Structure formats: structure tokens, C-alpha cells
């Protein structure tokens, strides 16, 4: 990705956060970036392409941050806390700050949805790798690392849109973590989130 495209994506995040996805125009993104619309269109054909790039870059940064955090942690519990703290909570807070938060479900377009699905697969794969050492325990209950990881990703992602507020999100994520630890046969070291 070129430096100009990175600058456009950063500007798009700022504008979408300020105006909301629906109200943001390519002209707004160009103005925020400090470039002409023609220059913007030379990099991205339309708002859907910009949004797809935003999702790709945002997701890659989050996954990299999670992987980096995990390298310094030892337990599954600590790694789940880091996954939620880096990959879920900031997303919740950022979306809640957007003017059209309630309208965002299903508003990503085809390529944006494909990028979101790719991100879901990547998060699921990362969590599945975390759970692989517990595969024997999971098999005893008919589960797999992949299915447990999928449950966490889909649940946590849906909590972003269904939690009433941050305290409710924390409660939901805490309950999910406890259920996962129980499934893995791990006694939680911490109470609550």
C-alpha cells in the first residue's frame, strides 16, 4: 500500500467517525486527505473500495497488536483478555462514537463484507491455534479448537452491536471468557473481567 493510500485510509477513518458511514462522501475523504477528488479516484474507485481498505488495514493492525500482546503472555485467560481488550472493546467504542452506529449492520457492501469475512477467518484461526493444545479436552465434549474459536469470534463481534453500554459489554465478554475457560478445563485466575 502506498503512503498516499495509507493517508487516504486514515482520513477516511476520521471522516467516517465524524459524519457516519452513510453521510461520508468521497469529496469529504478527499478534503480530509488534502487531495483532489480525481487523485482520490485514482486510488479508489468508490466509497466501498475505501471502506474495504479501511476494514483491511484496521483488521491487520488489530491482529498484529493481538499477536504482539500474546507473545508476552502465558495463559489462555490472559490471552483472551488481550484479544477482547485489543480486538473487541476499541471497536465497540469507536462504533458507538459514530453518528450512524445503528445503521452499520450490513452496510459494508460486497467487497467490504468479503473483507470482514476474511477478518473473521483470521481471528478464528488465531484463537483456534491458541486452543489447539487443549484439543484432547475439547474432543471429550464433542468440540474442536476451530469451533470454539468460531463461537468466540461470532459472539464477541455480535456483542459489539448488542451490548447496551461498556459495562454490559464487559459483562458479556467476561461470561464468554468464563464459558471458554470452563470448556477448556481451566480454572480462572481472575474473577470477572
Is there a single domain that holds both residue 19 and residue 67? no
pLDDT in tens, 45-90: 999 899 889 888 888 999 999 999 999 999 999 999 999 999 999 9
Give the C-alpha distances (Å, rounded to integers) separating 89 from 77, 94, 104, 174.
16, 9, 17, 12
pLDDT tens digits for range 112-158:
778 888 999 999 999 999 999 999 999 998 999 999 999 999 999 99
Give the model's pLDDT for residue 193.
Answer: 46
Q: How far is the C-alpha of 88 from the C-alpha of 99, rounded, in Å?
A: 19
Three cell numbers, residue 112: 467490504
Residues 144, 64 share a domain? yes
Q: What is the pTM of this model?
A: 0.84
Chain position carrying cell 493444545: 133
Q: In the structure grid, which three cell numbers stand for residue 41, read together? A: 479516484
Residues 36 and 84 in one domain: no
- Label residue 50 exposed, middle or buried (CB < 10 Å: 0-12, 13-18, 19+): buried
| Total tally of structural domains belonging to the chain | 2
Q: Which domain holds residue 10?
A: 1-45
pLDDT of 163-179, one tens digit each? 999 999 999 999 999 99
Amino acid at each position: 500500500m502506498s503512503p498516499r493510500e495509507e493517508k487516504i485510509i486514515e482520513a477516511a477513518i476520521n471522516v467516517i467517525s465524524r459524519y457516519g458511514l452513510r453521510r461520508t462522501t468521497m469529496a469529504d475523504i478527499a478534503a480530509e486527505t488534502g487531495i483532489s477528488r480525481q487523485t482520490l479516484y485514482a486510488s479508489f474507485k468508490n466509497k466501498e473500495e475505501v471502506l474495504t481498505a479501511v476494514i483491511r488495514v484496521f483488521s491487520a493492525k488489530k491482529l498484529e497488536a493481538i499477536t504482539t500482546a500474546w507473545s508476552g503472555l502465558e495463559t489462555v485467560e490472559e490471552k483472551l483478555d488481550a484479544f477482547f481488550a485489543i480486538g473487541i472493546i476499541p471497536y465497540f467504542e469507536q462504533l458507538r462514537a459514530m453518528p450512524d452506529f445503528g445503521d452499520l449492520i450490513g452496510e459494508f457492501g460486497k467487497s467490504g463484507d468479503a473483507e470482514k469475512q476474511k477478518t473473521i477467518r483470521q481471528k478464528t484461526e488465531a484463537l483456534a491455534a491458541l486452543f489447539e493444545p487443549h484439543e484432547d479436552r475439547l474432543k471429550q465434549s464433542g468440540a474442536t479448537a476451530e469451533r470454539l474459536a468460531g463461537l468466540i469470534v461470532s459472539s464477541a463481534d455480535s456483542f459489539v452491536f448488542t451490548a447496551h453500554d461498556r459495562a454490559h459489554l464487559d459483562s458479556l465478554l467476561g461470561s464468554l471468557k468464563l464459558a471458554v475457560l470452563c470448556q477448556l478445563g481451566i480454572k480462572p485466575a481472575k474473577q470477572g473481567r
